[in-house]
Amino acid sequence: MNFRTFAAFVGPSIVMMLLFIAFPLISVFTQSFYITQPIYEVVEVETCTPGFLTQTCVTEENSVPILDEHGEIVTKTEFVGLQSYRNVLELDRVWTAFREGSWTAFQTIDFWKALRFTLTFTLITLPLNLGVGLGIALMINNAAKSIRGPVIFISLLPFIITPVIGALSINWLFRGDGILTAIMEWYSGRDIALFAQAWTIEILMMLYRVWHVAPFAGIVLYAGLQTVNQDSLESALIDGASRWQRMRYVIIPHLMPLITFISMIHLMDSYRVFEEIVGFSSQGHVISLQWLTYDFLVPDQAGNRSISRASASAMLTMVGIVILLIAPLRRTWRDHKGSN
Amino acid sequence: MKFRSLLLAGAVAMSAGAAFADCAYENTTPLTSLSAGFEAWKAVTDAMAECGNFTASLDQEFREKQPEAFAANPSLYQIGGVANATLIPLLNAGSIRPLDDLIATYGQNLTPNQMIQIDGTTYAIAMAVNAQHLMYRTDILADLNLEVPTTYAEVLAAAQVIRDAGVVEYPLGGTFKTGWNLGEEFVNMYLGEGGEFFADGNMPAINNPQGIAALETLLAMTEFMDPEYLVSDSTYVQQQFQQGKIAMANLWATRAAAMNDEAESEVVGLVGMASAPMGSAAPASSLWWDGIVLAANMTDEEAEAAFQVALEGIDNEMVAANNDTAVWLVSGYQPGELAAGAAGTAQNGAVPYPASGPMGIMHTELGNGLADYLNGNKDAATALADIEAAYITAAQEAGLIQ
C-alpha cells in the first residue's frame, strides 16, 4: 500500500482521535491546574418571598457576581498548581487517620473511599468475569450444532441490555420488598434489607457487573476455542490426560492472548465503574472514582460546580487505569517480542 | 375505518378549538417554556398551551439546562419555571427580566403575596407554595389513642407506641436519600432549631449545639424507619404510605393528593395532614415556592405575549380545575383538607428556604456528608466539622470565600 492510500485510510481516524480524545484530554489536564471563578461583590439586598398568606421579607448581605457591560459574569482564571489535586486527595486528613490508626476515619475521605471500592470491584470481578466467560464459551462449544445459534443469542442478552437499565432492574428486584428479597425473606424467615449496609450492595453490584460483561468474554473465548489445535488435544488424550489436564495444559495456554485481551478491557471498564452507583443509588454507602468526578461536575441548585476538582479527579482516575494496565501490557509486549 | 379516523380527527380538532377558546388571550408569538416536570407544572403549562403557539418542556433536570439556555441571546426559552434555589443562578447571571411594568399593565389579578422581589423589583411570580409537613394515618393514631404529634419528641414517642403495637412494618418514613433529599432533611431540622447556616464572609456555621441537636433527631428517627432509608426519596415514601407500610412521615405537600389516588393507594381517606413537628424554635420545615420568570434576552413584544400567556397558565380557571394538585397562591384557590399541613406549617412560623449561592454548596455537602454520621462512621461533631471543611474547599473553588 502506498503512503497516500495509507494516509487516506488512517487520516480521518487520526483526526477524530485528536479532536475527540487528545484535545479534550489536554484541556482537562490544563484545567486541573487552573481555577476559574466569578468575581463577587457583597451587597445588602432585601428579598421578599411568598408565604402561605403573606410575604416574608429579609434583608441580608449577599454575594452577587459582578456583570460586565454585555451582561456577562466577570470571571478570573488563576493558576493554582496542584491545589485541586490536594483538595481531591486530602492528604492531611489521610495523615491524621493514619496516625490514629483508624481505618474508619480513612474510609470517610471521599477519594480514598472511592478508590477502595473501585479497586475491590475491579479486582474481584476480573477473575469472576474470566471464569464465567470461559464457562459460557465451553457451554456454547459443547452445545449441539442445532441449538448453538439460540444458545449464543440467549447468553449474549445480558450484554445487550443498557447498563443503567440493567442496574435499575436488579435494584428493583432487590430493593425494599422487591420480588427476590421477598423470596429470600420467605425462605430464611427473617427480615432482609439488602440496601441498608455497604457490603450487600457491593456484592449485588459485582454480581450485576459479572452478569453483564461475562457474555462478552464468553463470545471472545468461544471464538478462540474454534482454533484450538485438534491434534494436540488428540495426542493429550492418547497420553491419558484428564479433562482438567487438557483444559489446563492445552486449551488455556492457547487462549492466553485472548484472556489478556479480555482482562485489559475489563480492567479499563470496571475501573470506571459508574452505572452501578447510579442504578443502585448507593451513594450513601459506596461511591466510585468515576462517580466522584461526576459529582464534582453536577451543578447544585444555585449553579455552582467544581470543574477544577472534577478535572483533577478525572486525571487521577486515568493514572489509576494506566497503573493497572502495566502488568497485562508488559505481558503482551513480551509475547509479541517472543513471537518475532 | 376511514370514516372513523375522520370522525376522530374531527373530534380532536373540535376539542382543540374548544380548548383554544378557554384562553382569554389569543397568542400569535411562538413561545416556549422550561420548568420542572411535576404535576403542578403540567397543569399550568397545559393551561398556557390553550392560548396557542406555545410548547412546554417539562424536565426534572431543568436546573442544569436553565442557566445556559437563558444566557443565550436570544434566550432559548421565553418562560421559565423556578423555585427558591433555582432562581439564584438566573438572578446572578442577569438573564431574567424585571416584571414590574408588565404587572402594572396586565397583572391586576395577582396578589402582592405572589411577587418575588429583590430590592423592591419583582423578578418572579409565584404560583404555589410547597413544604414538607406531617402526614399521618388517622386510623392508626385513633386506634392507639394517640394525639397528632406536634414536636419531634412526640413523633418519636408515638412511633415507639406504634412499633410496640405492631400495626405497620415501620412507624416512620422519611426522605433520607443521600444527596439533595438528605440535605433538605437537615436544613429543615436545623431551621426548626433556629440555626443560622453562615457567619460573616460566607463562612460556614453549622457545627454548633443546634446542628448537633438536628443530627441527633435525624438519627433517632432512623431507628423507626425502613433500614434502607438512605435510598428512600419522596416517591418511595409516598409509596410506603400508599401501601400501608408506614404510619407517619414529614412529606412534601405536593404528594398529599397521591394519598387519595384510588388507583394507587390502599389508604384513601386515612391520611391526615398536619403542621410539620416543631423544633425548639420553629416548625422543622422550610417554605418553598414555585413560580414563573421571563427571560431578559427577548424582544419587548415577545415579553408582553409571554407574560399574558404565563398569567393564563396561573389563572383561577386552571386552579378551579386542579384545586388539589398543589397549594396554590392564586386567587380562587380553595384550601381543602389536603392543604391543612402546608397552611399549619406556615402559620406556626416556618421560614422560607434560605436560597443563595453559598447555600447551594452547603446543601450539596450536607447531602453527601451526613450518611457517614447516620451509618455510625462519625460522631455528630466530626460529621459537621467535616461538612464545614468540605464546604470551605468548594466555596473557595467557587470564589465565594477568599
pLDDT digits (tens, 9 = 90+) for B279-314: 999 999 999 999 999 999 999 999 999 999 999 999
Asked whether residue B146 is domain-assigned, the answer is yes
Characterize the bridge pairing of strands B132-137 and B271-274. antiparallel
Residues B144 and B236 in one domain: yes
Phi, psi of A335 (to 5 degrees): -60, -40
Q: How confident is the model at residue B325 (pLDDT cuts 50, 70, 90)?
A: confident
Q: Identify all chain B residues contacting A174, using CB atoms and an 8 Å cutoff.
A: none
Residue B207, classed as helix, strand or coil, is coil
DSSP-assigned states of every residue in B325-378 = TSEE-STT----GGGHHHHHHHHTTPEEP---HHHHHHHHHHHHHSHHHHTTSS
Residue B2, C-alpha cell as written in the block = 376511514
How close is the nearest chain B Cα to the Cα of A307, in Å? 9
CB B128 within 8 A of CB B327: yes
Characterize the bridge pairing of strands B79-83 and B31-35. parallel
Q: What is the distance between the alpha carbons of residues B46 and B40, in angstroms, rounded to a whole number?
A: 10
Q: Identify all chain B residues contacting A108, using CB atoms and an 8 Å cutoff.
A: 372, 377-378, 386
CA angle A232, A235, A237 (to 5 degrees): 110
Q: How far is CA B273 from the centre of its chain?
A: 17
CB spacing of A301 vs B358 below 8 angstroms: no
Residue in A40, A50, A302 nearest the CB of B114? A50
Q: What is the distance between the alpha carbons of residues B372 and B387, in angstroms, rounded to a whole number?
A: 11
Q: How confident is the model at residue B215 (pLDDT cuts 50, 70, 90)?
A: very high
Characterize the bridge pairing of strands A40-50 and B115-118. antiparallel
Evaluate if residue B7 carries a pLDDT over 50.
no
CB spacing of B393 vs A87 below 8 angstroms: yes
CB B348 within 8 A of CB B167: no
Residue stretches of chain A with pLDDT short of 70: 339-340
How close is the nearest chain A Cα to the Cα of B389, in Å? 11
pLDDT for A194: 84
CB spacing of A302 vs B89 below 8 angstroms: yes
Q: What is the distance between the alpha carbons of residues A19 and A30, in angstroms, rounded to a whole number?
A: 16
CB spacing of B113 vs A55 below 8 angstroms: yes
Mutate one of A45, A47, A91, A281 to test the B interface: name it (highest B CB count within 10 A).
A47
Q: What is the distance between the alpha carbons of residues A38 and B93, in angstroms, rounded to a whole number?
A: 10
Asked whether residue B354 is domain-assigned, the answer is yes
Residue with cell 456484592: A203
Sign of torsion over alpha carbons B27, B33, B36, B37: positive
Give the residue ranges of DSSP H helices in chain A: 3-17, 23-31, 83-89, 91-100, 103-106, 110-142, 145-160, 163-174, 179-188, 198-225, 230-238, 243-246, 252-271, 275-279, 289-297, 307-339
Q: What is the distance between the alpha carbons of residues A149 and A151, in angstroms, rounded to a whole number?
A: 5
Residues B61 and B140 in one domain: no
Q: Identify all chain B residues contacting A193, using CB atoms and an 8 Å cutoff.
A: 226-228
CB spacing of A63 vs B356 below 8 angstroms: yes
How close is the nearest chain B Cα to the Cα of A308, in Å? 8
Domains of chain A: 3-84 (no CATH), 103-339 (1.10.3720.10)
Residues B272 and B231 in one domain: yes
Question: CATH code at B66?
Answer: 3.40.190.10
Q: What is the distance between the alpha carbons of residues B108 and A112, in angstroms, rounded to a whole number?
A: 58
Residues B96 and B145 in one domain: no
Asked whether residue B313 is domain-assigned, the answer is yes
pLDDT for B1: 39
Residues B147 and B114 in one domain: no
Q: What is the distance between the alpha carbons of residues B253 and A146, in angstroms, rounded to a whole number?
A: 61
Written as one letter, the residue type at B141 is L
Asked whether residue B6 is domain-assigned, the answer is no
Q: What is the distance between the alpha carbons of residues A289 and B61, in angstroms, rounded to a whole number?
A: 23
Q: How many domains does chain B have?
A: 2
CB A261 within 8 A of CB A220: yes
Asked whether residue B16 is domain-assigned, the answer is no
Q: What is the mean pLDDT of chain B?
A: 90
Residues B258 and B193 in one domain: yes
SS (H, E, C) A113-166: HHHHHHHHHHHHHHHHHHHHHHHHHHHHHHCCHHHHHHHHHHHHHHHHCCHHHH
Rounded to whole angstroms, what are the CA distances from A233 to A218, A221, A223, A227, A236?
A: 21, 17, 17, 12, 5
CB spacing of A56 vs B368 below 8 angstroms: no
Residues B216 and B75 in one domain: no
CB B127 within 8 A of CB B291: yes
Residues B110 and B153 in one domain: no
Mutate one of B84, B92, B181, B366 to test the A interface: name it (highest A CB count within 10 A).
B92
Q: Which domain holds residue B296?
A: 23-129+287-334
Residue in A53, A196, A303 nearest the CB of B227? A196
Residues B32 and B141 in one domain: no
Asked whether residue B117 is domain-assigned, the answer is yes
How close is the nearest chain A Cα to the Cα of B300, in Å? 17
Output the furthest CA–CA distance in chain A (Å, rounded): 94
Q: What is the distance between the alpha carbons of residues B69 and B64, in angstroms, rounded to a whole number?
A: 9
Residue in B95, B347, B400 nearest the CB of A63? B400
CB spacing of B177 vs A284 below 8 angstroms: yes
Chain B residue whose CA is closest to A296:
B394
pLDDT for A182: 86
Residues ≥6 apart with Cβ < 8 Å to B32: B54, B55, B56, B57, B76, B77, B78, B79
Residues B120 and B175 in one domain: no
Rounded to whole angstroms, what are the CA distances from B5 to B13, B14, B17, B393?
A: 12, 14, 18, 63
CB spacing of A63 vs B202 below 8 angstroms: yes
CB spacing of B394 vs A306 below 8 angstroms: yes
CB spacing of A50 vs B351 below 8 angstroms: no
Nearest partner of B322 among B38, B58, B32, judged by Cα: B38
Q: Identify all chain B residues contacting A309, using CB atoms and an 8 Å cutoff.
A: 393, 397
CB spacing of A38 vs B399 below 8 angstroms: yes
Residues ≥6 apart with Cβ < 8 Å to A89: A111, A316
Residue with cell 489536564: A29
Written as one letter, the residue type at A77 is T
Q: What is the distance between the alpha carbons of residues B291 and B155, in angstroms, rounded to a whole number?
A: 33
Q: What is the distance between the alpha carbons of residues B27 and A210, in angstroms, rounded to a whole number?
A: 56
Asked whether residue B14 is domain-assigned, the answer is no
Nearest partner of B402 among B369, B367, B358, B344, judged by Cα: B358
Q: How many CB atoms within 10 Å of residue A296?
A: 23
pLDDT for A302: 84
pLDDT (mean) for B39-61: 91
A to B CB pairs, distance under 8 Å? 175
Written as one letter, the residue type at B23 is C
Residues B154 and B121 in one domain: no
How close is the nearest chain B Cα to the Cα of A35, in Å? 7
Residues B239 and B385 in one domain: yes
Size of chain B in residues: 402
Residue with cell 493514572: A319
Asked whether residue B13 is domain-assigned, the answer is no
Q: What is the distance between the alpha carbons of residues A286 and A57, in angstroms, rounded to a whole number?
A: 41
How close is the nearest chain B Cα to the Cα of A32, in Å? 12
